[in-house]
Structure 1
Amino acid sequence: MTLQLSPMMDRAAKASFADLDTIIGTGGLVALAPHPDDESLGCGALLRAAASAGRRVAVVVVSDGRRSHPASYSVSPDALARIRALEIRAALVTLHPNIFLIELGYCDGEVPFSLPNASCAIADLAKGIGATALVASWDGDPHCDHAATAALARRVHRLLPELRLWSYPIWGRFAPTAAKAPARIVRFDTTPNRAAKAAAIACHRSQMTDLIDDDPAGFTMTTEMQTHFINHPEVFLAG
């Protein structure tokens, strides 16, 4: 099966490659993930590269991911939230043991677009680790939690405008979007960190395998999509 990529990805295919310093500057990095697994899919190689370079790195996961298999009889939403919390911990340790995790705990599918307290807390976190960059999901992704997380990143950036702000596409890699075209796109070469990124993605077993097999409509990422995220350069959109 050949994946159909979005027009944005056609443009990204022509974008230049950027190194770690060009993307995040000389300091630390804060990454916002709408759900446990978006961090590994969208920016896992960047997280590992930054932490391996001695930068302080924090991941803020916004929702608990409890609704990916709503009709399962064997795994309740509460149990799934616990599973996904364990999965993201395993994934981050796989990427680098020094990556710091914060979970905001909003219900999957219900992340508010206005989170003033969270934006202040994340700004304080960024200052505390000496961050010079903030990455988050793209508001062109056709998912409400991804758009809400992008809005949260913009709030943090208004508090700390000196941060470099980037977004990473997940579903926007495949689905056409009405979102405004970004002013700048760069690619990050995952090759040196590809094996670790693949291992981190594999930690999210509830999303990548048939671990939960009693909900035919439940989410499982296709093998083709997983391979795409592992083998394709990471994409970062300015602003």
Structure 2
Amino acid sequence: MSSETALPFSAYPVREAGFVASLGPTVVIAPHPDDEALGCGGLMALLHQTGTPVAAVLVSDGSMSHPNSALFSGPARQAVRETEFRHALTILGADATEPLLLGLPDSRVPVSEQEPGFMAAVAQLREFLECHQTATVVVPWRRDPHPDHRATSRLVQAALAGMAAAPRRLEYVVWAWERAAPADLPTNADKVTGFRLDIGAVAGQKQRAIAAHRSQVAPGIFTDDPGGFLLSAEMLAHFSIPYEVFFEALPS
């Protein structure tokens, strides 16, 4: 599924940029470096414009986009991508707070408490959210069709379950633009509503933040792994539009 015409997103109601003023101190959770810019870079820039505190969490180490690079070892790839992540945060205005870097294995983020690293990550995440008095957490859509995105959603859900007052939760889409099967999209059972956030005023910032992830866009940095991952022009086109798609729980 590669066309917006095959998705319901264009029918979602639009919320104006001023909507972000209702979110309060916000923490954005990114499975990989670049997900923050792709999925909710506009929201982050709008929050910064209003003076609302924005912090970020990077879940994976990002090292597996080009696993066969000989010029860059795994730790070197991780360092490049962390630098790009921090650069993007600076562009979006979310660099005032040191991000939480969970450092979980890229492409193998644990999905349950039975897997190594899951509970430790949950505890770190919960502490970070509580420390920042988080009013809203922004996380990948629970069935965004990438295993690390779904695992990230489960980590966040487990962290929120242990909080005395769980933050408001917004869910953003990344891979649903390209890969969503009908079962990946919201159903009545999910009890969420979809909306589009108008990010036209900060669209340029978002594009600069995406471009800051140089290793993920052509011609790239890890040039000795021709089979490695790069964001396609078709994929990037979904994130050049003047709105972002979010889901939020319906009022109970």
Q: What TM-score do you get using the length of structure 1 for normalisation?
A: 0.89
Gaps (5+ residues) in structure 1?
Answer: none
User: Which has the higher mean CA deviation after the structures are superposed, 220-229 or 153-162?
Assistant: 153-162
Secondary structure at the counterpart of residue 153 of structure 1: helix
Structure 1 CA distance for aligned equivalents of residues 166 and 17 of structure 2: 17
- Return the match for 1:150 from 133, 150, 153: 153
Deviation at 1:175, TM superposition (A): 1.2
Deviation at 1:197, TM superposition (A): 0.6
Aligned counterpart, 1:189: 198
User: How do 1:1-239 residues align onto structure 2 when only pairs under 5 Å count?
Assistant: 3-5=2-4, 7=6, 10-19=7-16, 22=19, 25-96=22-93, 97-98=95-96, 100-114=98-112, 115-160=118-163, 162-177=166-181, 178-179=183-184, 181=186, 182=190, 183-210=192-219, 211-239=221-249
What amino acid does structure 2 have at the position aligned with 1:187? R
Structure 1 CA distance for aligned equivalents of residues 156 and 5 of structure 2: 23
Structure 2 CA distance for aligned equivalents of residues 14 and 74 of structure 1: 46
What amino acid does structure 2 have at the position aligned with 1:150? S
Structure 2 CA distance for aligned equivalents of residues 202 and 95 of structure 1: 12
Structure 1 CA distance for aligned equivalents of residues 19 and 159 of structure 2: 20
Structure 2 CA distance for aligned equivalents of residues 202 and 213 of structure 1: 17
Deviation at 1:226, TM superposition (A): 1.7
What amino acid does structure 1 have at the position aligned with 2:3? Q
**Deviation digits for residues 131-183 of structure 1, max 9, x if unmatched?**
21111112322221111001112123323454211211111111133235153
Deviation at 1:41, TM superposition (A): 0.4
User: Which has the higher mean CA deviation after the structures are superposed, 29-38 or 228-237?
Assistant: 228-237
The 3 A distance-change label for structure 1 pair 176 and 228 is closer
Structure 1 CA distance for aligned equivalents of residues 122 and 152 of structure 2: 10
Alignment RMSD (CA, Å): 2.2
Structure 2 CA distance for aligned equivalents of residues 94 and 176 of structure 1: 29
Structure 2 CA distance for aligned equivalents of residues 36 and 88 of structure 1: 5
What amino acid does structure 1 have at the position aligned with 2:184? A
User: Which has the higher mean CA deviation after the structures are superposed, 103-112 or 182-191?
Assistant: 182-191
Aligned counterpart, 2:115: none
The question of whether the paired residues in 2 share the 8 Å contact of 1:6 and 1:174 is answered with no
Structure 1 CA distance for aligned equivalents of residues 21 and 62 of structure 2: 28
Task: Give the number of aligned pairs.
Answer: 236
The 3 A distance-change label for structure 1 pair 70 and 117 is closer
User: Which has the higher mean CA deviation after the structures are superposed, 98-107 or 12-21?
Assistant: 12-21
Deviation at 1:228, TM superposition (A): 2.1
Structure 2 CA distance for aligned equivalents of residues 124 and 212 of structure 1: 35
Q: What TM-score do you get using the length of structure 2 for normalisation?
A: 0.85
Secondary structure at the counterpart of residue 231 of structure 1: coil
What amino acid does structure 2 have at the position aligned with 1:107? P
Secondary structure at the counterpart of residue 117 of structure 1: helix
What amino acid does structure 2 have at the position aligned with 1:186? F
Deviation at 1:110, TM superposition (A): 1.4
Secondary structure at the counterpart of residue 87 of structure 1: helix
The 3 A distance-change label for structure 1 pair 42 and 26 is closer
Structure 2 CA distance for aligned equivalents of residues 25 and 156 of structure 1: 23
Deviation at 1:30, TM superposition (A): 0.8
Secondary structure at the counterpart of residue 229 of structure 1: coil
